[in-house]
Amino acid sequence: MFGSLPSSAHQWVRGVKQTAGGSTGSVFKAFDLGLRLLTQAVLTRSHPAVRHCDLVVANTTRAAAYAAIALQQSSKPLVVHLRDQVTIESLGVFGFRLMTKLVLPRADGIIANSHSTLATASPYIRRDALARVIPSPAGLRTLRRVEHVQSTLRVGMLARVDPWKGQMLLLEAFAQAFPGGTERLEIAGGSPFFHDDFAVELQTRARVLGIGDRVSFLGYVDDVVSLLSRWDVAVQSSLRPEPLGQNVLQYLAAGTATIVADEGGPAEWVHHDVNGLRVHPRDVAALATALRELAADPAKRRRLGAAAQRTAGLLDDHSIAQAHAQAYGDVLRQAGGAGRIAMSVVSPIVAAA
């Protein structure tokens, strides 16, 4: 997908669908992915929006791969958005090699969603490349807490259903913290990357733990504002370091008492016992202890929630767009460009099945 953005936005769709799940899979899947990337790179290079622009922006990891291939032997500046940590665990072996051997050495500008993400990329970035940390947009302008009164404590997680996102760990911790009682757990998020079986596994495990009647699986939720307004505690418990944790920014902006794993992007935003709690990653007992602590202390939940909304650096989408525009201009000026910017944004169209 290409968007040429001078004074008004235009969008063109051209190329092949990119299959989901590129970071995992067989050798055959890696070959298929590579073939799709090469095809898209050829189409990208030949597209008028790319040939006549001053700057190319790759908006995703997949787009960065075919944009870097397309711009080989070209002096056109390339800006890459990093929303995944540059590790084999996050990108897979094939993706990691593409990113470290091809994409990052070619990039003239890097916009990382956290300092943690940027640190994983730093060894592979050119010395003369511009590097900025700007959080990804998360709709924070619309998330403002509405006070509510309820007798039942509600714990929630907002994240796509995926084994590494930590829903299973949260189930175990919730069952350990509240083996009986009226406390409820709500798990919100769809399963876009072929994890329907895991969603079923979560429901089965909740029943085995004896908490099935107190756990709700909400699926994809469009009205995040209403969702967060009814949660007393919101949790991020991913099993590997989150690059940013957009859900954490949403929790904070909504004024919800927040618990996060003490690593990656979320640890840059949550200061322990100031605007949330940080717990040892992948530790069921530690998470259960934090849940019990907040459940027993409504005043602490209110204090942490109020401080959460005052967290420095929470930007609305317009402010993030302005920061991006500043970075694009700086890359262009560094490359010797001047005047009005004609920019092409490349993003993959990912096939859901």
CB 49 within 8 A of CB 20: no
What is the per-residue pLDDT for 192?
A: 83
0.75 exceeded by the pTM?
A: yes
Whole-number Cα distances in Å, 155 to 181, 218, 260:
13, 13, 13
Q: What is the pLDDT of residues 300-310, one digit of tens each?
A: 999 999 999 99
* Residue 3 pLDDT level (bands cut at 50, 70, 90): very low
Furthest CA-CA distance within the chain: 66
Q: What is the pLDDT of residues 233-250, one digit of tens each?
A: 999 999 999 999 999 999
Q: What is the pLDDT of residues 113-146, one digit of tens each?
A: 999 999 999 999 999 999 999 999 988 855 555 5
What is the sign of the dihedral through the CA atoms of 196, 225, 243 and 241?
A: negative
